[in-house]
A and B are shown apart, each in its own frame.
Chain A
Amino acid sequence: MLGVVCLCAWIISLALGEIWFGWFDAARSSLLGQVCSVAWVFAIFYHLLNGLRHLCWDIGWGFDLPQVYGSGYAAVIVAGVLTGVLFIFA
């Protein structure tokens, strides 16, 4: 959710003008900004994957305990891989 707040900040700075965009860009490209960017992208993918788990459970898939544990660990790993792929290729 904080990520969406930052996404809004980017959009608003684009509309306000180059000075405001400069402030946004300085924050984003700082060390803290870069760390937060990686954490945000990981959080998006982790949330997406766990959302998919919940939707599967809602229709009765994967609700046995071993599968629940397995998909839980898989969500962490796949979110990490997707985050890596995004920052390497984009």
Chain B
Amino acid sequence: MKSASRHWWLQRVSAVVLIPLIGWIAIFVLSRMSADYEEARVWLGQPLNGGLMIVSLFVLYWHARLGLQVVAEDYVSGPVGRRRLLLGVNGILLVWIVSAAVAVWALMRF
């Protein structure tokens, strides 16, 4: 498959996967972000909640990466600068996402 049509498909597949995950985040996660420390830790440490969170984080990263690429293609002129910008932003975002995934894993284990 050509890279443009692969991009198109992956963007839509990640979008469809995110529909139920965003529903879960809106209903169950957002309210817990104002919970106290112990309650939030225990909740996110449960296997189902932690597992869904790790999956959500990586699908969100995937969807964001594809979307950012489109934004850069539309608004950043010059292929070299665009590639460097995307590499930088994707890299920082991925490090942060992986850190959060490791944090969830730690909460599930301890």
Contact = CB atoms under 8 A, between A and B. Distances in A.
Chain A interface size, under 10 / 10 to 19 / 20 to 34 / 35 or more: 20 to 34
Nearest to B38: A18
Contacts of B97: 4, 8
Q: How large is the interface on B (under 10, 10 to 19, 20 to 34, 35 or more residues)?
A: 35 or more
Contacts of A51: 15, 18-19
Nearest to A90: B31
Contacts of B102: 15
A13 B70 CA distance: 32
A59 B58 CA distance: 26
Nearest to B29: A7
Contacts of B60: 4
A58 interface: yes
- Which of A7, A44, A55 gathers the greatest number of chain B CB atoms within 10 Å? A7
Contacts of B18: 51
Interface string A7-41: 11011101110100100010011000000000001
Interface in A30-86: 41, 44-45, 48, 51-52, 54-55, 58, 82, 86
Interface of A: 1, 4-5, 7-8, 10-12, 14-16, 18, 21, 25, 28-29, 41, 44-45, 48, 51-52, 54-55, 58, 82, 86, 90
Given A16-B103, A28-B33, A55-B12, 9 more contacts: A1-B67, A5-B93, A10-B40, A14-B37, A15-B103, A15-B106, A48-B22, A52-B19, A90-B30
